């Protein structure tokens, strides 16, 4: 272990740029696999609950609404062409490929990304980050890595769950409003998408999770100037996360569309 991941852990000295933050997170995770005690399951679990599980109700509500909306909007246009039977396809494809990942990510930015930025920012202002350093506890390892792993696990889970809830929304409109048989809806919605449709959505989700948590932690750890700075950092975390999520979404969609 002479080349160690340790060299990554402290890359760049005491400065913390966005790139260095990513490098150090990577370093700690790789290092954590070689040594016990670095990745603490209980810490990760508590973050899974705080930034993942607790955001599920909101994410579900949004997904359900999107399911309703997709079904209702498409029924007007597709109905005109007598293509009612394609509504379940449309609902399930758009949820899996695009809207599920995007909307759940945006909810998580607002709910958890902002909370992480505010929490770390407050810790910075209260000298808690400084105190960790002085105790020879790396804040990236102790604070950032558990949150990072938690969100990387939870966002895909929440997206899949959100997709299911969205499908229920579509189902409600199709059967109750348009009188489509449930069996028909379920068959169409499940058969039309291929595995890749789900995977492409999940790839996006992983990228979004990375964007959300690294931007939130970066903004939080770099707070300057008291309570006002915490507010600014929280706002920046939300704005930049959403901005980069949409840009990344465009790039990934383009990649899937043109290349694959």
CA distance 84 to 86: 5
CA distance 58 to 107: 7
Q: Give the DSSP letter of residue 63.
A: H
Q: Give the DSSP letter of residue 135.
A: T
Copy the structure tokens of residue 79.
């109905």
Q: Which of 19, 79, 127, 182 binds another protein (CB under 8 A)?
A: 127
Instruction: Pick the stretch among 77-85, 91-99, 129-137, 145-153 that binds another protein (CB under 8 A).
Output: 129-137
Quick check: 43 binds another protein (CB under 8 A)? no
CB neighbourhood size of 29 (10 A): 18
What radius of gyration, in Å, describes the C-alpha atoms of the chain?
A: 21
- Closest CB to another protein among residues 43, 235: 43
Quick check: 136 binds another protein (CB under 8 A)? yes
CA distance 159 to 91: 15
Copy the structure tokens of residue 172.
């409600």
Q: How far is the CB of 51 from another protein (least distance, A)?
A: 14
Q: How far is the CB of 9 from another protein (least distance, A)?
A: 7
- Closest CB to another protein among residues 119, 197: 119
Q: How far is the CB of 136 from another protein (least distance, A)?
A: 4
Instruction: Pick the stretch among 8-16, 58-66, 234-242, 244-252 that binds another protein (CB under 8 A).
Output: 8-16
Q: Please answer whether residues 110 and 104 qualify as being in contact, where contact means their C-beta atoms are separated by less than 8 angstroms.
A: no
C-alpha 142, offset from chain centre: 21
- Closest CB to another protein among residues 38, 152: 38
Can you tell me whether residue 181 is helix, strand or coil? coil
Quick check: 82 binds another protein (CB under 8 A)? no
Helix runs in the chain, H state only? 6-9, 18-34, 41-47, 56-80, 87-94, 100-108, 114-125, 128-134, 139, 145-172, 182-191, 195-221, 226-254
- Closest CB to another protein among residues 27, 88: 27
Quick check: 36 binds another protein (CB under 8 A)? no
Quick check: 230 binds another protein (CB under 8 A)? no
Q: Which of 1, 2, 3, 13 binds another protein (CB under 8 A)?
A: 13
Instruction: Pick the stretch among 61-69, 132-140, 171-179, 199-207 that binds another protein (CB under 8 A).
Output: 132-140
Quick check: 224 binds another protein (CB under 8 A)? no
Total residues belonging to the chain: 260
Q: Residues in the site for another protein, rule: CB under 8 A?
A: 6, 9-10, 13-14, 119, 122-123, 126-128, 130-131, 133-138, 142
């Amino acid at each position: 272990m002479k080349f160690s991941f340790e060299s990554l852990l402290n890359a760049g000295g005491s400065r913390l740029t966005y790139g260095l933050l990513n490098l150090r997170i990577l370093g700690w995770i790789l290092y954590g696999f070689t040594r016990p005690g670095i990745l603490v399951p209980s810490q990760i679990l508590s973050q899974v609950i705080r930034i993942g599980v607790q955001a599920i109700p909101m994410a579900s509500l949004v997904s359900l609404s999107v399911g309703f909306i997709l079904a209702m909007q498409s029924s007007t246009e597709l109905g005109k062409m007598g293509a009612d039977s394609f509504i379940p396809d449309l609902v399930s494809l758009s949820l899996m490929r695009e809207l599920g990942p995007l909307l759940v990510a945006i909810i998580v930015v607002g709910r958890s990304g902002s909370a992480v930025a505010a929490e770390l920012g407050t810790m910075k202002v209260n000298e808690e980050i400084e105190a960790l350093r002085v105790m020879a506890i790396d804040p990236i390892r102790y604070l950032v890595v558990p949150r990072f792993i938690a969100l990387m696990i939870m966002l895909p889970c929440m997206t899949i769950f959100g997709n299911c809830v969205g499908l229920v929304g579509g189902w409600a409109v199709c059967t109750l409003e348009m009188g489509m048989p449930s069996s028909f809806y379920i068959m169409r919605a499940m058969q039309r998408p291929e595995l890749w449709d789900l995977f492409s959505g999940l790839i996006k989700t992983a990228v979004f999770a990375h964007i959300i948590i690294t931007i939130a932690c970066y903004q939080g750890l770099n707070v300057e100037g008291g309570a006002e700075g915490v507010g600014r950092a929280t706002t920046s975390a939300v704005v930049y996360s959403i901005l980069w999520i949409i840009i990344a979404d465009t790039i990934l969609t383009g990649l899937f569309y043109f290349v694959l």
